[in-house]
Structure 1
Amino acid sequence: MIPMTFSAEVANARATGVPLVALESTIITHGMPFPQNVETARIVEDDIRQAGAVPATIAVINGTLHVGLEADELDALGQAKDVAKLSRADIAACIASGGTGATTVAATMIAAHLAGIHAFATGGIGGVHKGAEDSFDISADLHELAQTPVTVVAAGAKAILDLPKTFEVLETLGVPVIAYGQDMIPAFWSATSEMVAPLRMDSAVDIARAQQMRTAMGLKGGQLVTNPIPAEAEIPAETLAPIIAQALAEADAQKISAKAVTPFLLQRIFELTEGRSLTANIALVRNNAQLAAQIAISLAS
């Protein structure tokens, strides 16, 4: 039996049929410093409530899978040190050993599915890292999208990745990639890219119907909804390109690899943009949360 617990708010939503939106926890433990991480998490949760759904931030705490965090649990997680970063490969081991860990996109999808949650908002998914032809560094998020029936709303894949290869892998795996309200796939901090989206949908209702049809047809996996960052918060791709290149070169010189790569790159980009990347990140996560809430409501109806 899986040791799983629900916050009071999530338990009440499950009992009364209020739609739920899953949220990951690595953005709290590995994405921002305290107290900004906790403050941002609460803002995003409130965005979901104001849109008519209930947020369910997911984490593993002392060997128990938490679906929804109480206020004191969120505070404690935001200040915890050496929290594991959990994906499909290690979430079960962390629970079995009584550990504490924050969930990535893949692990959050697994937990959401176990809890009967069908919509999930995040910042950006993981994907194919630059140089993957040598390192084979490819995020488990891509395979999770191909097998777990959760609709994930993100601002595309993180811009530090090899974006064309990431979306080529998603196509190979049969994952629907839907651009919301535009024809181009967004590039995380940038609202557009050079990649034409294979699918475009302009409403939460259409997105929900597509997921329901996949279920009815017995098709495995979820959907990736790529939601462009609000125009007032975006950083143009041409501004970011040399900054990302510098951060990647520094990571390579310092021989940073595996799960340490993404946090290092995001921190260096934060420093090199003088904090502008973090401001953009908060804006896009909030935007994604609001859309995910609309999709959750449409799925429930």
Structure 2
Amino acid sequence: MAMITKSAELLKAQETGQPIVALESTIITHGMPFPQNLETARMVEDDIRAAGAVPATMAVLNGTLHAGLEPEQLEALAQAKDVDKVSRADMAVCMSLGRTGATTVAATMIAARLAGISVFATGGIGGVHRGAEQTFDISADLAELGQTAVTVVAAGAKAILDVPKTLEVLETYGVPVIAYGQPDMPAFWSRHSDLPAPLSMSRAEDIAASHKMRAALGLPGGQLIANPVPEADEIPAEQINPIIAQALAEAEAQGITAKKVTPFLLQRIFELTEGRSLVTNIALVRNNARLAAEIARHLV
């Protein structure tokens, strides 16, 4: 049995040496409703093509891990029900049971490595949840970044998280956290935070060179590129932070814990911003896809 099935577009890209960018699929199945999810997925893939690279959306379909989805597969996944959200811990179970699963950041990194892809674009990574000193709720994304050699372009960690603790864990795992084009960390919906970036670069070719140097040194793990959302699309920190605080307080009051926390918070923030958070989310994913394509071009 083949471990991974590649799309026709991906196979051709690898045969001809074209740059490739991996994409996750949880934004399709768990991020927004149909048909907006399908429209967004197609838009992000087209952004990568327009930037001179080839997209490869990752997903488990009926037990088979796919790198790159054919158009009809992408449309079917966008309408599918009862889709698992898979990470490192449950990816193999999903596949062995013949189920359909959408890949998180961690699972997409694993799929990208198996497919021979070095760059991955997403919205924001998971991290250390607020109150983790009691709950120990820390995303598997961080450990994956410490062991899987994929450069991940995101708008930082999701702003609902404890970002300082997230940066500390990434440092412990030896993950380079590189802010793109600015000295401070972006804060997902907002371009700026009060946290200085551990590292900063302003050119895609420098990021690609760092990726290659890590490989030459035999260092495990990837890089996290923190790419700020375009200024025209951001929600400034002074506007979004009180909304995040309200959503967090509501989650605590309702006793929402574990895997239910993030979906609850994102939905409440969507409601409290009257949909603006989702518009910003789509804009930052597209912006990350374009930068990832530029980095990928310097890796071929």
Runs of 4+ in structure 1 off by over 6 angstroms are none
Q: Which residue of 2 aligns with 1:294?
A: 294
Q: How much does 1:3 deviate?
A: 3.4
Amino acid at match of 1:182: Q
Q: Which residue of 1 aligns with 2:139?
A: 139
How far, CA to CA, are the matches of 1:250 and 1:60 in structure 2?
34
How far, CA to CA, are the matches of 1:2 and 1:89 in structure 2?
21
Q: 1:3–1:63: 8 Å Cα contact kept in structure 2?
A: no
Q: Which residue of 2 aligns with 1:185?
A: 185
Percent identity between the two aligned chains: 73
Deviations 1:116-160 (A, max 9, x none): 000000000000001111111000000100000000000000011
Q: 2:125–2:141: 8 Å Cα contact kept in structure 1?
A: yes
Q: Which residue of 1 aligns with 2:149?
A: 149
* 2:49 aligned with 1:49: yes
Q: 1:153–1:288: 8 Å Cα contact kept in structure 2?
A: yes
Q: 2:4–2:114: 8 Å Cα contact kept in structure 1?
A: no
Query: Which sits farther off after the overlay, 72-81 or 251-260?
Result: 251-260
Describe how 1:161-200 pairs up with structure 2 within 5 A: 161-200=161-200
Q: How much does 1:260 deviate?
A: 2.0
Q: How much does 1:257 deviate?
A: 2.2
RMSD of equivalent CA atoms: 0.9
Q: How much does 1:243 deviate?
A: 0.9
Query: Which sits farther off after the overlay, 147-156 or 8-17?
Result: 8-17
TM-score (norm 1): 0.98
Q: Which residue of 1 aligns with 2:108?
A: 108
Describe how 1:10-25 pairs up with structure 2 within 5 A: 10-25=10-25
Q: Which residue of 2 aligns with 1:209?
A: 209
How far, CA to CA, are the matches of 2:214 and 2:284 in structure 1?
27
Amino acid at match of 2:139: S
Q: 1:7–1:67: 8 Å Cα contact kept in structure 2?
A: yes
Q: Which residue of 2 aligns with 1:235?
A: 235
Q: How much does 1:2 deviate?
A: 4.6
How far, CA to CA, are the matches of 2:271 and 2:107 in structure 1?
28
Q: Which residue of 2 aligns with 1:258?
A: 258
Q: How much does 1:281 deviate?
A: 0.4
Q: How much does 1:235 deviate?
A: 0.3
TM-score (norm 2): 0.98
Q: 1:127–1:161: 8 Å Cα contact kept in structure 2?
A: yes
Q: How much does 1:93 deviate?
A: 1.0
Unaligned runs of 5+ in 1: none
Q: Which residue of 2 aligns with 1:3?
A: 3
Amino acid at match of 1:268: R
**Secondary structure of the equivalent of 2:108?**
helix
Q: 1:109–1:120: 8 Å Cα contact kept in structure 2?
A: yes
How far, CA to CA, are the matches of 1:224 and 1:290 in structure 2?
15
Amino acid at match of 1:71: P
Deviations 1:191-218 (A, max 9, x none): 0101111111111100000010000001
Amino acid at match of 1:263: P
Q: How much does 1:265 deviate?
A: 1.0
How far, CA to CA, are the matches of 2:263 and 2:102 in structure 1?
13
Q: How much does 1:187 deviate?
A: 0.3
Aligned residues: 300
